Amino acid sequence: MIKADRAALILKRLDELYPETPIPLDHHDPYTLLVAVLLSAQCTDVRVNQVTPALFDLADRPETMAQVEVDDIRAIIRPCGLSPRKSAAISELSRIIRDQHGGQVPQTFEELEALPGVGHKTASVVMSQAFGVPAFPVDTHIHRLAQRWKLSKGRNVKQTEKDLKSLFPRQSWNRLHLQIIFYGREYCSARGCDGTVCGLCREMFPQRKRGIVVNKA
């Protein structure tokens, strides 16, 4: 099975498994999504969703969050890890959005990635899920599966993103990146599959006998 055939099969199977792709981070607008994605760095979505209700009860708009003491933000988000850095970033990006963007989350990659604590992956999630701009955010699940499925040899998420964008139709990106994450968590996890166990791995590589060693992001 050549790479293009594998890509077509992946699209078909993941559409069958996940016809709906709800965003796993609870939010109600682009700003709360931005904050939730920032908090999800090195933290599970479940934990973020446990923390954000109290945070958003305190402030759910950049104008109000900018007025909250950083220590108060930090006290709430501490369970997410990296709380000193994340709380400072939330406070500062809220101030910038209030003062430089009229209280609205900017809608370009350049402006988003200029915000404190916002890297390309976070910007990609916000652009795709809040604004509907085609993007392919690559997290550890996607990076791992792209290698197991021989879609990319990328040694970093930047190269993996480039390879996946070249393989899959642009109109599929926003849905597909979530579908791959869902599949990676449910069937092809780091411990649950080594490239020889889950349904898709077996279907695409029936002759594969050895597990795949993945280059970490």
Annotated catalytic sites, by residue?
121, 139
User: Exposed, middle or buried: residue 17 (CB in 10 Å: 0-12, 13-18, 19+)?
Assistant: middle
Cα within 13 Å of Cα(136), Cβ side: 22
Cα within 13 Å of Cα(186), Cβ side: 11
Query: In this structure, what is the dihedral angle of CA atoms 140, 143, 148, 149, given to the nearest 10 degrees?
Result: 130
Query: For 60-198, where are the alpha helices, taking DSSP H only?
Result: 62-65, 70-77, 83-100, 109-113, 120-129, 140-148, 157-167, 173-186
Q: Measuring CA to CA, which residue among 205, 208, 211 is closest to residue 1?
A: 205
As a whole number of angstroms, the distance between CA 23 and CA 11 comes to 18
